[in-house]
Structure formats: C-alpha cells, structure tokens
Amino acid sequence: MSKTWYPVINYSTCLECGVCVNKCSHGVYEKETNTPKVIFPEGCIEGCTGCQKLCPSSSIEYVGQEFKNGNLNCECNCNC
Ligand code: SF4
Ligand code: SF4
C-alpha cells in the first residue's frame, strides 16, 4: 500500500484507450470507463510502472517518481 506512489494522468495527451485501466488489478483506476480516473491511489504498488509501460502516448507519471530517481525536479537548492 502506498500513498506516496500513484499514477497521474496527463489528460491533454491521453488517448482514452483504456489500456492502463485494464492493466491494473489493484483497484487504482475506476473500471467503468476507458478514461483513466484514479480512485484508489493507496492501492498502487510502490515502484510499479506497469500501466506507464503500456501507455501508447506516455501520458502517465507518478507521484513520488522524482524522489525515487533522486531528482527532486526543483531548483531551489534547499535539499528538502
Ligand atoms: S503502477 Fe501498477 S499498481 Fe499502480 S496503477 Fe499502474 S498498474 Fe496499477
Ligand atoms: S494507457 Fe495512456 S493513453 Fe491509454 S487511457 Fe491510459 S493514460 Fe490514456
């Protein structure tokens, strides 16, 4: 269970193909629609990129990803 790692969809590039929705078996996405809607982020498995790998338009990123890669993506140099 993770609250610090879950998918965030870029709806401006999402094709609404439903691949990510169908891929996840952890209840993270609402299953009734092909438009990915994250309804249970706690179900996402820390470090899993299963749905991201299958996304044809690279529309999935993760909360927590920058931290995992050691890149805070922040230029303020406060080392937070
Ligand atoms: S990263 Fe894995 S567990 Fe998380 S939503 Fe995608 S397929 Fe499901
Ligand atoms: S796999 Fe990618 S393009 Fe398809 S619905 Fe999910 S986020 Fe959108």
Q: How big is the CA angle at 44 (ends 38 and 12), to the nearest 5 degrees?
A: 35
Candidate of 9, 20, 51 to mutate for ligand 2, largest count of ligand atoms within 8 Å of Cβ: 20
Does residue 44 lie in a domain region? yes
Question: Tens-digit pLDDT profile for the chain (80 aa)?
Answer: 457 899 999 999 999 999 999 999 999 999 999 999 999 999 999 999 999 999 999 999 999 887 666 655 555 555 54
- Give domain status of residue 77, yes or no: no
Residues with CB under 6 A from ligand 1: 7, 23-24, 26, 28, 44-45, 48-51
CATH at residue 55: 3.30.70.20
pLDDT tens, 27-39?
A: 999 999 999 999 9
Ligand number with the minimum distance to the CA of 56: 2
Total domains present in the chain: 1
Domain that holds residue 28: 6-68
- Spatial separation of the C-alpha atoms in residues 28 and 3, rounded to whole Å: 11
**What global pTM score does this model have?**
0.85
